[in-house]
Amino acid sequence: MGEGKRPSVSVIIPTYNREHTIGLAIRSVLEQTFQDFEIIVVDDNSTDGTRGIIEGFRDPRIRYLRHEQNRGAAGARNTGISGARGDYLAFLDSDDEWLPHKLDEQISLLGDLSAGWGLTCSGFFLVVNGCEREYIPACVPSWFRRLHWICDLSPGTTLVVRRECLARVGLLDEELPRLEDWDWLLRLSKLYKLVVVEKPLARVHRGLLPSADLVEVSTRRFLRKHDKEFQAIGWFYRHQIFSTHWLGLAYWFYREGRFFRGNRYVMKAFLQDPLGTSALSWVLWVLKRRLPMLRKGKN
């Protein structure tokens, strides 16, 4: 693509050791019905054959950027953002894929809305162990409020944002080893309206799950970072938010068989919101008892 013509969309694909999936991700962009884009693939210091797969496409719209040291998903996305030239930025994880009309629908939608509508996400097909199910986000009055509790929009693969929003929101937080896209989406939705396309426009492939320790570090930083927002809404609201996140951490530790740590977070959740967490605590206790048997069944 010539330097004189700016693309409408910059597609940012962070990748690390994804030689088996990066080709599918790139092809899903090249096969879009909307073709006015550049693809920025940021290789976060891969040690496998990722680079060879990328360079094999030989499409002038593909730009390959490589980190000499691994900086994590946030760092890779930030490198892509810094190098982007498009009016819109679209994100795609390197083990996921887009459906052919994805960009067409989201760019058309944002183009018809005022600048206050700064970003859009979509539904998607979630693929787990070869099984696919459709996920359509719920209609909610405030995505900013919902994102205090949960992030179910897969922003790493379905998010499209106006470039002009970045001047106010800034880049992703590289101190978050996980939840970096959730944190960024929350900051975006605080300042700009989010519109959701209520149909699946991507396939999200669930890969290896992170360790509970990594999720713990990220969750604690996430809560500290946004605590003033929670407090501003109300004391009771803040306690409910913290309780929900502690229960989430309990699940992560339970699934690793680390029941002592899981129990500690159930207790923290209960102390934050005794009336609201008793039923959920019971469910988690049952899940804790069942997980060893479920693992044996899978083996």
Residues 46, 18 contacting (CB under 8 angstroms): yes
Residue type, 241: I
Q: Which residues pair with 195 in a beta bridge?
A: 120
pTM of this prediction?
0.90
Burial of 211 (0-12, 13-18, 19+ CB in 10 A): middle
Which pairs from 127-136 meet CB under 8 Å and 24+ separation?
A: 127/203, 127/204, 127/205, 127/206, 128/206, 132/203, 134/200, 135/200, 136/198, 136/199, 136/200
pLDDT in tens, 166-214: 999 999 999 999 999 999 999 999 999 999 999 999 999 987 889 999 9
pLDDT in tens, 78-111: 999 999 999 999 999 999 999 999 999 999 999 9
Distances (CA, A) of 100 to 13, 54, 82: 17, 20, 26
Residue type, 238: R
The structural domains of the chain, ordered by start, are 9-205 (3.90.550.10), 213-298 (no CATH)
Residue type, 279: A
Q: What is the mean pLDDT of residues 290-298?
A: 44
pLDDT band, very low/low/confident/very high, at 49 (cuts 50, 70, 90)? very high
Return d(Cα 188, Cα 70) in angstroms, integer: 26
SS3 262: helix
Round the average pLDDT of the chain to a whole number and report it.
Answer: 91
pLDDT band, very low/low/confident/very high, at 294 (cuts 50, 70, 90)? very low
Q: What is the mean pLDDT of residues 32-39?
A: 98
Residue 276's pLDDT is 72
Diameter of the chain measured on Cα atoms: 62
Residue 136 pLDDT > 50: yes
Return d(Cα 180, Cα 199) in angstroms, integer: 25
Return d(Cα 190, Cα 194) in angstroms, integer: 9
- Selected residue with higher pLDDT from 272 and 11: 11
Q: Which residue has the tokens 């092809």?
A: 27
Residue 297's pLDDT is 39
Distances (CA, A) of 89 to 82, 86, 143, 214: 11, 7, 20, 28
Q: Which residue has the tokens 């060879």?
A: 52
pLDDT in tens, 210-261: 999 999 999 999 999 999 999 999 999 999 999 999 999 999 999 999 989 9
Q: Say what percent of the chain tops pLDDT 70.
A: 91
pLDDT band, very low/low/confident/very high, at 280 (cuts 50, 70, 90)? low
